[in-house]
Amino acid sequence: MNPQDLRVILATDCGSTTTKAILIEKLGDGYRQTYRGEAPTTVEAPFEDVTRGVLNAIQEIEELSGRHILDGERIITPANGTTGVDIYISTSSAGGGLQIMVAGVVKSMSAESAQRCALGAGAIVMDTLAANDGRPSYEKIERIRQLRPDMLLLAGGTDGGTVSHVVEIAEYIAAADPRPRLGIGYQLPVIFAGNKEARSQVQHLLGDTTALSIAENIRPVLERENLMPARHRIHDLFLEHVMAQAPGYKKLISWTGAPIIPTPAAVGLIIETVARREGLNVVGVDIGGATTDVFSVFHEIFNRTVSANLGMSYSIANVVAEAGLDNIRRWLPFAFDEQTLRNQIKNKMIRPTTIPQTVTDLQVEQAIAREALRLALDQHKELAVGLKGVQQERSVSDAFTQGASGESLIDMRTLDLIIGSGGILSHAPRRVQSMLMMMDAYAPLGITQLAVDSIFMMPHLGVLSTVHEQAATEVFVKDCLVPLGTCVAPIGTGKIGEPCFSYRLLFPDERVIADTLGYGEIRLLPLPSGQEASIELAPAKGFDFGVGKGKKLVGKVKGGVVGIVLDARGRPITIANEEDMRVQQLQAWAAAVGLYPSEELKIKN
């Protein structure tokens, strides 16, 4: 069917625990998401057939919508009146997602490019091997033997460059004789995407013992990455080898009207598509129970990272282990003894499906979320960098301004939009809690919009964008994103209470609000979704809105379900070390934006 003729679209995302289905319909001129259903994923015993969960989720949509979609275990296509759908599409992260091991010659060059390629394809990178990674060679071989990845991506050497170093890594792989995670007796899929001159020797070494396939070099010259061919090959092998081993997927693949892609790859696709269409620099985050994915598009360069053990249930204790308990406690507006706090966090780890019932419990989880978000962005910044090893010609004047090779692409001053997703952000009882969690974790600079994914439909829209980009972006803007509002914050630190910046806000109804914020203050000004106001900002000496210290900025701010948050808490945000002071400070900030029920704050005072 021609994409333009699609009127009823059914999409599912088969997650580790839940299979989520949505129905998208063409209503009038535009596409809207109309119904959703969900059911437990059925990859594990006793069902061991992913399609059971898919059928259950679709049945829920049938009941809610009145549309007759299933004929027994068959999805009826095409749509005819209130029967059937025009296309069924799906993403999947069930069974632990796609786990890849990558290898290259130079750690900061081909190995890093291979890592970016695998991450961009939606994989979890289990380890990155390189000739110069500092490990003795027998340790590398032992590591390849121990890990049981779904596939291995081997890069290295520019075209026409080093052969022997690439062959050396291939020899290690051959000596290790690696086994795949799924399917005892099957050969491990290996993709070679390095120096084309080394192909025949890699074929000789790995052709018989692995399921080897060759892709174009991901780093054909030092100055350019060419990640897409290898990324597509990863997706092909994901379907042919990994998915084919997972229970029920052969049937599921036969139902879909477009290739199934890994869930994180689909989220990346929709963020990339929207950033390109709107001309925005975007950071997207999906904080789940076990992992946190970060996506960024800066100046049209897409990057994705996954922090495999930063999450809010299965991995909650690891966030605390990595961040340190003091960094969690700094976000708590009350005193808490260490033993009780540690035990409480571990109890969440062993019973991951429980939810906070008290506000105190909610505040602890939201404090941990701030640190998980911060750590995941720090890891993202390390990988989302310009190409290393590229020679740059500089004049004397350039030497003072030009960024070094390998500098992070993530520049908070030029960031336009932050999109949050995952239970703790999408389902926070108050939307302002989601906004503050992201603001505290990311400390955005200047003028930055924030939004959350309403019901986690970014994966569905990502796979839809491969079939019908316009439908995907329409639903993304109208039904997926919940605009929270805009954060306005200058860079700099000062003394509590001294002037930080003045503002003059001109609303669409011509109302004007003007005032000055003291350093250490935060203020919320309501501005509904869909409205835009003009703002004039005059920072005090030493503060900078991204255009220079003390320089005025005139811009636009967009409204949302929260509104405009004027943030004079400093960058970095300054929190008192002394406990009583910290509690007072956090309670004042919470009261200023209506973060928690007021009775809770009174009780604690």
Partner 1 sequence: MAHSYTPGLRVTPDTVIQRRRLLPILGEVVVTHGATVSATTEVARTSLPGKVYPVNVVNQLSIAPDEIMSYMRKREGEAVSKGEPIAENKPLLKWFQVQVTSPITGTIENISHVTGQVFLREPPTMISLAAYIDGTIVEVTPQQGVVVESHCAFIQGIFGVGGETTGTLAIAVQQPGEELTAAHLQPEHVGHIVIGGSLARKETFSRARELGVRALVVGGVHDRDLKELLGYDLGVAITGTERIGFTLIITEGFGAIPMATRTFELLSAHVGRKASCSGATQIRAGVIRPEVIIPLASADESTVHSPRSKVIGGGITVGDTIRIIREPYFGILARVKDLPSELQRIPTESEARVLVATLPDGQDAVIPRANVEMIEG
- What part of residues 134-173 is at the interface with partner 1 (CB under 8 A)? 137-138, 141-142, 163-164, 167-168, 171-172
* Nearby residues of 318 by Cβ (< 8 Å), 6 or more positions away: 309, 310, 311
Residue selected from 27, 321, 513, 603 as contacting partner 1 according to rule CB under 8 A? 321
Peptide bond just before 262 cis, omega within 30 deg: no
Q: For residue 95, state whether it binds partner 1 (rule: CB under 8 A).
A: yes
Q: For residue 602, state whether it binds partner 1 (rule: CB under 8 A).
A: no
Asked if 246 and 48 count as a contact pair (C-beta separation under 8 A), the reply is no
Give the H/E segment covering residue 274.
helix 263-278
Please state, in angstroms and rounded to a whole number, the distance separating the CA atoms of residues 313 and 222: 41
Binding part of the chain for partner 1, among 299-307, 312-320, 458-466, 494-502 by CB under 8 A, reads 312-320
Q: For residue 345, state whether it binds partner 1 (rule: CB under 8 A).
A: yes
Please state, in angstroms and rounded to a whole number, the distance separating the CA atoms of residues 117 and 119: 6
Q: Which long-range contacts (CB under 8 A, 24 or more apart) does 492-499 make?
A: 492/539, 492/542, 492/543, 492/544, 492/549, 492/570, 492/571, 493/519, 493/570, 493/571, 493/572, 493/574, 494/519, 494/540, 494/542, 494/543, 494/570, 495/519, 496/520, 498/540, 499/540
Burial 173-209 (b: 16+ CB within 10 A, else e): bbebebbbbbeeeebbbbbbbbbbbbbebbeebbeee
Residue selected from 70, 228, 349, 576 as contacting partner 1 according to rule CB under 8 A? 349
Residue selected from 30, 160, 594, 597 as contacting partner 1 according to rule CB under 8 A? 597
Q: How far is the CB of 294 from partner 1 (least distance, A)?
A: 19
Q: Provide the 8-state DSSP code for 42.
A: -
* Nearby residues of 321 by Cβ (< 8 Å), 6 or more positions away: none
Nearer to partner 1, 353 or 401 (CB): 353
Q: How far is the CB of 260 from partner 1 (least distance, A)?
A: 18
Binding part of the chain for partner 1, among 30-38, 237-245, 347-355, 449-457 by CB under 8 A, reads 347-355
Q: For residue 343, state whether it binds partner 1 (rule: CB under 8 A).
A: yes
Q: How far is the CB of 594 from partner 1 (least distance, A)?
A: 11
Q: For residue 354, state whether it binds partner 1 (rule: CB under 8 A).
A: yes
Q: How far is the CB of 325 from partner 1 (least distance, A)?
A: 9
Please state, in angstroms and rounded to a whole number, the distance separating the CA atoms of residues 61 and 234: 32
Binding part of the chain for partner 1, among 99-107, 357-365, 517-525, 554-562 by CB under 8 A, reads 357-365
Q: How far is the CB of 473 from partner 1 (least distance, A)?
A: 30
Binding part of the chain for partner 1, among 153-161, 213-221, 346-354, 534-542 by CB under 8 A, reads 346-354
Asked if 269 and 304 count as a contact pair (C-beta separation under 8 A), the reply is no
Nearer to partner 1, 32 or 329 (CB): 329
Q: How far is the CB of 219 from partner 1 (least distance, A)?
A: 20
Q: For residue 361, state whether it binds partner 1 (rule: CB under 8 A).
A: yes
Residue selected from 317, 332, 424, 517 as contacting partner 1 according to rule CB under 8 A? 317
Residue selected from 70, 211, 301, 359 as contacting partner 1 according to rule CB under 8 A? 359
Q: How far is the CB of 43 from partner 1 (least distance, A)?
A: 7
Residue 64 CA to its chain's centroid (Å): 30
Residue selected from 54, 271, 290, 553 as contacting partner 1 according to rule CB under 8 A? 290
Asked if 523 and 484 count as a contact pair (C-beta separation under 8 A), the reply is no
Terminus-to-terminus CA distance in the chain, angstroms?
Answer: 64
Does residue 425 come out as left (phi exceeding 0), alpha (psi in the -120 to 50 range) or beta? Answer: alpha
Query: Do the strands 87-92 and 8-14 form a parallel or antiparallel pair, or are they unpaired?
Result: parallel
Q: How far is the CB of 519 from partner 1 (least distance, A)?
A: 31
Nearer to partner 1, 309 or 529 (CB): 309
Q: How far is the CB of 39 from partner 1 (least distance, A)?
A: 12
Nearer to partner 1, 94 or 130 (CB): 94
Please state, in angstroms and rounded to a whole number, the distance separating the CA atoms of residues 266 and 252: 17
Q: How far is the CB of 146 from partner 1 (least distance, A)?
A: 10
Q: For residue 177, state whether it binds partner 1 (rule: CB under 8 A).
A: yes
Please state, in angstroms and rounded to a whole number, the distance separating the CA atoms of residues 126 and 307: 11
Binding part of the chain for partner 1, among 59-67, 238-246, 348-356, 511-519 by CB under 8 A, reads 348-356
Q: How far is the CB of 362 from partner 1 (least distance, A)?
A: 4
Which residues of 46-188 form beta strands (DSSP E)? Answer: 70-71, 74-75, 87-92, 98-104, 123-130, 151-154
Sheet holding 30-40, edge to edge: 30-40, 18-27, 8-14, 87-92, 261-262
Binding part of the chain for partner 1, among 24-32, 353-361, 473-481, 558-566 by CB under 8 A, reads 353-361
- What part of residues 398-457 is at the interface with partner 1 (CB under 8 A)? 427, 429-430
Residue selected from 4, 339, 391, 397 as contacting partner 1 according to rule CB under 8 A? 339
- What part of residues 49-68 is at the interface with partner 1 (CB under 8 A)? none
- What part of residues 6-45 is at the interface with partner 1 (CB under 8 A)? 16-17, 41, 43-44
Nearer to partner 1, 16 or 421 (CB): 16
Q: Tokens 């290996």 label which residue?
A: 190
Name the residue among 597, 593, 594, 601 with its Cα closest to residue 566.
593
Nearer to partner 1, 9 or 205 (CB): 205
- Count residues contacting partner 1 (CB under 8 A)? 62
The three-state secondary structure class of 322 is helix
Q: How far is the CB of 338 from partner 1 (least distance, A)?
A: 8
Q: How far is the CB of 152 from partner 1 (least distance, A)?
A: 16
Please state, in angstroms and rounded to a whole number, the distance separating the CA atoms of residues 517 and 499: 6
Residue selected from 176, 215, 527, 601 as contacting partner 1 according to rule CB under 8 A? 176
Q: For residue 342, state whether it binds partner 1 (rule: CB under 8 A).
A: yes
Name the residue among 132, 175, 174, 135 with its Cα closest to residue 156.
132
In the complex, which residues of this chain contact partner 1 (CB under 8 A)? 16-17, 41, 43-44, 94-96, 137-138, 141-142, 163-164, 167-168, 171-172, 174-177, 179, 184-185, 201, 290, 309, 314-315, 317-318, 320-322, 338-340, 342-347, 349-362, 427, 429-430, 597
